[in-house]
Amino acid sequence: MTDPLKTPEAGPSHPLGAVADADLAREIETAKSLVTAIVKTRKNLRLYLPNNPIYQQTIAGLSKAFENAFESQEAVTIDIQRTQILCGGKTIYQSPDMEDNLAALFYRDGIRNLTFLRGITDEETAEFLEIIQLGGRSAELDDDVVTLMWEKDLEHVRYTVVEEGEGDENDPGLLPRGARPGAAYGNLTEAHRDAVAPDGPRAGGEEIRSLAATPGFEDLSSFPKELMSPLPLDEDDVRRLKLQIQDKRNALLLQRTVDICVEILFQDAGANPAGFEESVRTLERLGKLALMRGEFRLVADLLGQFRQMLGDKERFDEKERNLLRQTRSALGNEARLKEVGQSLDQGIPYSPEALEAYLVSLDETAILPLCDLLGLKEMKNRRVIVNALIVLGRKHMEALVRGLSDSRWYIVRNIIYILGRLDDGRAAGVLKRFVSNSESRVRMEAVRSLGLLGPPAAEGLGLYLDDADPQIRLAAVRYLGATRSPEAARRITERIRSKGFKDLPNEATRAHLDAYAEAAGPDALPLLEELATRGGWFDRSRIEEIQTAATAALGLIDTPKSREILGRLGENKNPSVRSAAREALEKRAE
């Protein structure tokens, strides 16, 4: 006979049982789909980088799977076993591959149950995926799935964890002596007797000050007055505490750790060789970390400190100074600079001034590796490298020149750019070598850089006057003129008097004549006047172009004689010449 007080179980034969079964079946199916989606997503994410569109699509796919799962239920709960995942007692995932087994990943770190809640955001999905990616590398990291889940504190992902087995709280070895069997302790009777005695000791024999009665604390009899109330915090206290909590310097861990290691270095100098070496090595590791993080100012300062220490022979002996030298070198060697380049390409935030400060503190061995970094993707990063190489190159031009053997034309071009800015006439001899370089952008840069070097560049620029590229030829003649050197005047005169001069395009003609005026100055007046007034029967328009160009070039020479010539040319029958002359005189008058 059934007990009327007992609710019949909702078994299969009961109407409610059928509904319950259907619900459970649906939950299991939902959980299975979701776990399958997670497994698939995890695999895909290993194949692509975060900035790859497929990576993003994969995560979006999982978000969609979550959305689908929560259409009919508030939460999805799965149970974790050693190699399989269950829902409602049914296995929904298992894999024989222990290395890549999702269940094993969670089980190993103690997770026995996971619940995903409706409302899980895309960010939480991405973070959860990040956790299971990182959790698989916990042997290398200081975290496992549990610590990562705890820190991420995902609002819509809950878990239960069993703690690792060690640390039995009943282990006698761990317990205080008073908690072990047989511990004989305590003399409460004596304590009570002393306490109730009217003149008995108050507490432990220490000095107890008598206190004035204070409302609310009148029954306090044995406590120092200044601690009668919990020390109330006033506004100033709260303000100071907030400042301390929010102090940005708390986050400058790397800087502070470096400072500490330097202090210890000074403590150990001359007293503890092994300790000194260890501290130096630690500083090297910290320096490397700083470089990877883009904290270049820190490294620049550290290198500066090393430099000072190297100069202090009283405090640091030869062996210690050698160690410092080695570390100083290690923080600017090829490997370090390559890592810096990789970090810059990855887009780490940094201060360009700080990076430059670090780079210019390096020695000449850094120049070639830095030349390699002239191929960085972002211009702002390249600019910093260029600026640093300009500084370093002024001291070590030979090292910079060695970089010109690089096979990448853009690296060579950038080095040529730098050579032009070294304010060193010797660079001209190097730059003229590129006249036969197959890359026009390299040749153009060589011309521009030569143009910055003044008279010593005249010979080199002259070589580019016959370049195959008309733009390079133009640039060469203009820069040549700007050198204002006799050599430049001589070369340009040769070209003007050559047969081919009359066949030059107008722009080139003007460039030559302007350059001639600039280079030769007043000495150019006779030839320019001659060209401005020379006639001819053939190719009239060309003759007029030359006349006009010569007239304009006369305007660049500011002497009474040139004004006189221009005055006469202002009455020339050729309207272009007249116009050019008058324009030149007007400009002069301004």
Partner 1 sequence: MAQIPSFQIAAPQVYNEHVLALGKDLVIRLQILLKLCGIHERNNVALVRPSERLAETLSVFHRTAPAVTLRLSRDFLYIDEVRVRYDIETATSYNYLLEEMKHRRVGSVSFKGPVDTATARTFGAVFAGIERTHPDPVYEIQKRLVAGNCFSITVEAYDEPPEQPLDTIMDERKRAKRTYFRAISSLKGIVHALKEGQAVELRRVKRSVQSIIDVMLREEFSLLGLTTLKDYDEYLYNHCINVSIFALTLGKRLGLPKAHLTNLGVSSVFHDIGKVEIPHEIIDKPTEFTEADWRQVKEHPSLGVKILSRIRGLNDLTMVSMIVSFEHHLRHDSRGYPSLRSRAEWDMHFFSRIVALADQYDAMTSSRVYQRVPFSPDKALSVMAERSGTHFEPALLKVFVNMVGIYPIGTLILLDTNELALVFDTNPAPANANRPRVLVITDTSGNQIEARTADLTEIDPRTGRHKRSVAKVLDVNKYNINLAEYFI
Contacts of residue 317, Cβ cutoff 8 Å, sequence gap at least 6: 270
| Residue closer to partner 1 (CB basis): 278 or 583 | 278
Per-residue binding letters, 177-196, with partner 1 (x by CB under 8 A): xxx---x-xxxxxxxxxxxx
494-533 binders of partner 1 (CB under 8 A): none
Tokens 């191929």 -> residue: 375
Least separation in angstroms between CB 323 and partner 1: 15
269-288 binders of partner 1 (CB under 8 A): 275, 278-279, 282, 285-286
Least separation in angstroms between CB 229 and partner 1: 6
Contacts of residue 49, Cβ cutoff 8 Å, sequence gap at least 6: 55
Amino acid at position 189, single letter: T
Least separation in angstroms between CB 241 and partner 1: 5
Give the distance, in angstroms, between the CA of residue 314 and the centroid of all CA atoms in the same chain. 39
| Residue closer to partner 1 (CB basis): 18 or 191 | 191
Give CA–CA dist 581/584, Å, rounded: 5
Q: Are 511 and 542 in contact (CB under 8 A)?
A: no
Partners of residue 75 on adjacent β-strands: 117
Contacts of residue 313, Cβ cutoff 8 Å, sequence gap at least 6: 321
Contact pick of 4, 181, 205, 349 for partner 1 (by CB under 8 A): 205
Least separation in angstroms between CB 366 and partner 1: 24
226-265 binders of partner 1 (CB under 8 A): 226-233, 236-238, 240-242, 244-245, 247, 249-250, 253-254, 256-257, 260-261, 263-264
Contacts of residue 28, Cβ cutoff 8 Å, sequence gap at least 6: 87, 88, 90, 92
Q: Applying CB under 8 A, which part among 9-17, 26-34, 82-90, 204-212 lies near partner 1?
A: 204-212
Least separation in angstroms between CB 132 and partner 1: 16
Question: Collapsing DSSP states into helix, strand and coil, what is residue 87?
Answer: strand
Examine residue 153 and tell whether it contacts partner 1 (CB under 8 A): yes
Contacts of residue 111, Cβ cutoff 8 Å, sequence gap at least 6: 80, 145, 146, 149, 159, 160, 161
Least separation in angstroms between CB 153 and partner 1: 6
Examine residue 348 and tell whether it contacts partner 1 (CB under 8 A): no
Contacts of residue 551, Cβ cutoff 8 Å, sequence gap at least 6: 532, 566, 569, 577, 580, 581, 584
| Residue closer to partner 1 (CB basis): 47 or 141 | 141
| Residue closer to partner 1 (CB basis): 47 or 179 | 179
Examine residue 219 and tell whether it contacts partner 1 (CB under 8 A): yes
Contacts of residue 189, Cβ cutoff 8 Å, sequence gap at least 6: none
Q: Are 370 and 388 in contact (CB under 8 A)?
A: yes
Examine residue 295 and tell whether it contacts partner 1 (CB under 8 A): no
Beta strands in 367-478 (DSSP E): none
Give CA–CA dist 83/94, Å, rounded: 6
Give CA–CA dist 562/135, Å, rounded: 84
Least separation in angstroms between CB 138 and partner 1: 7
| Residue closer to partner 1 (CB basis): 47 or 238 | 238
Per-residue binding letters, 155-174, with partner 1 (x by CB under 8 A): xx-x----xx-xxxx-x-xx
| Residue closer to partner 1 (CB basis): 119 or 429 | 119
| Residue closer to partner 1 (CB basis): 267 or 342 | 267
Beta strands in 54-110 (DSSP E): 75-80, 84-87, 90-94
Contacts of residue 300, Cβ cutoff 8 Å, sequence gap at least 6: 354, 357, 358, 361
Examine residue 289 and tell whether it contacts partner 1 (CB under 8 A): yes
Question: Collapsing DSSP states into helix, strand and coil, what is residue 574?
Answer: coil
111-150 binders of partner 1 (CB under 8 A): 115, 117-119, 138, 141-144, 146-147, 150
Give CA–CA dist 532/544, Å, rounded: 8
Least separation in angstroms between CB 404 and partner 1: 39
Least separation in angstroms between CB 39 and partner 1: 24
| Residue closer to partner 1 (CB basis): 54 or 175 | 175
| Residue closer to partner 1 (CB basis): 209 or 497 | 209
Give CA–CA dist 577/569, Å, rounded: 7
Least separation in angstroms between CB 207 and partner 1: 9
Total chain residues near partner 1 (CB under 8 A): 96
Contact pick of 21, 122, 151, 363 for partner 1 (by CB under 8 A): 151
59-88 binders of partner 1 (CB under 8 A): 74-75
Q: Are 68 and 33 in contact (CB under 8 A)?
A: yes
Least separation in angstroms between CB 296 and partner 1: 17
| Residue closer to partner 1 (CB basis): 5 or 274 | 274
